[in-house]
Amino acid sequence: MVRKPLVAGNWKMNGSSASNEKLLDGILAQADSFPAVDVALFPPAVYLQQVQQRLQGTTLAWGTQNLSQFRQGAYTGEISAPMLNDFGCKYVLMGHSERRCLYAEIGLDQLVLDYIIAEKYGAALKEGITPIVCIGESPEEHEQGKTEEVILRLVDIIIEHSGVKALSQAVLAYEPVWAIGTGKSATPEWAQDVHTLMRERIAKHDQATAESVQILYGGSVKGDNASSLFSMPDIDGGLIGGASLDADNFVAICQAAASV
């Protein structure tokens, strides 16, 4: 089955009104060069309206970098799924390792976090927003050979939470923490193996869902390594951090996704 590639640009806590305009100009000017690719941008939430205004009516989609598992109420600083709908978000990121580290600082263990991510996943699905669930092992877990355990734990928890079929409305992103922002991408073969692991786990529940779910790779993807990663059969695009802040680099990644 041929899955459409998706390239997602996570701006993290970067940008200003002025720099965002320049970045959006640069990407939109070249959007015709990656016609068969889904592309989505994830600005800091305060710039959501700016991005919505610029991307409305284009082929590009947008979303936020996190959301609350709750619908409304006394949750200072949080953003709910209905609010994302209010601003036309098609996607939302969740479970990013930078969020996990932050929460880990206040004492939650990774298993509890996985359950919270499953709640967020359910909250997004309920509003018709596509969750992009980030999953990845830390450098320590990598060295201890715990990759499979860490990855499959979250896959199992989200299947247990919302059922396997819900994954056909979702996206998974394998993001080894040791590759994020380090310039040290996973090899295409390593990423492919982990993606296969996830797809096989889903296939145990439902073959059709396993074949249709988009699984992205994230961690030091750049214009010059994107093609080799995206040409692997189970890598359906990328979640891009640093390189999404540079229009030409980001466009080169989108073009690489278009040409595999």
Active site residue 160: no
| 123: contact with ligand PGA by CB under 6 A | no
Identify which of residues 209 and 244 has a Cβ nearer to ligand PGA in the complex: 244
User: What is the C-alpha to C-alpha distance for residues 157 and 93, in angstroms, rounded to an integer?
Assistant: 17
Mark 1-30 with x for binding to ligand PGA (rule: CB under 6 A) and - for no binding: ---------x--------------------
Please state the closest distance from residue 244 (CB atom) to ligand PGA, in A.
Answer: 7
| 139: contact with ligand PGA by CB under 6 A | no
Please give the angle made by the CA atoms of 239, 244 and 245, to the nearest 5 degrees: 150
> Which 3 state secondary structure label does DSSP give 153?
helix
Stretch near ligand PGA under the rule CB under 6 A, chosen from 110-118, 161-169, 192-200, 217-225? 217-225
User: What is the C-alpha to C-alpha distance for residues 167 and 188, in angstroms, rounded to an integer?
Assistant: 24
Identify which of residues 99 and 161 has a Cβ nearer to ligand PGA in the complex: 99
| 240: contact with ligand PGA by CB under 6 A | yes
| 38: contact with ligand PGA by CB under 6 A | no
| 175: contact with ligand PGA by CB under 6 A | yes
| 141: contact with ligand PGA by CB under 6 A | no
Pick the catalytic residue: 161, 175, 189, 195? Answer: 175
Neighbour tally for 117: CB within 10 Å:
24
Alpha carbon 232 to chain centroid, angstroms = 18
Active site residue 175: yes
Q: What are the residue ranges of helices labelled H in 206-260?
A: 207-212, 226-230, 247-259
User: What is the C-alpha to C-alpha distance for residues 144 and 150, in angstroms, rounded to an integer?
Assistant: 11
User: What is the C-alpha to C-alpha distance for residues 120 and 22, in angstroms, rounded to an integer?
Assistant: 32
Identify which of residues 223 and 241 has a Cβ nearer to ligand PGA in the complex: 241
Residue type, 170: A
CB 255 within 8 A of CB 33: yes
Which residues lie below 8 Å from residue 171, measured CB to CB, with a gap of 6+?
6, 91, 130, 131, 132, 133, 213, 214, 215, 216
Stretch near ligand PGA under the rule CB under 6 A, chosen from 66-74, 81-89, 123-131, 236-244? 236-244
Identify which of residues 162 and 220 has a Cβ nearer to ligand PGA in the complex: 220
| 219: contact with ligand PGA by CB under 6 A | yes
Q: What are the residue ranges of helices labelled H in 171-206?
A: 188-205
Catalytic residue IDs: 96, 175
Contact positions vs ligand PGA (CB under 6 A): 10, 175, 180-181, 218-221, 239-243
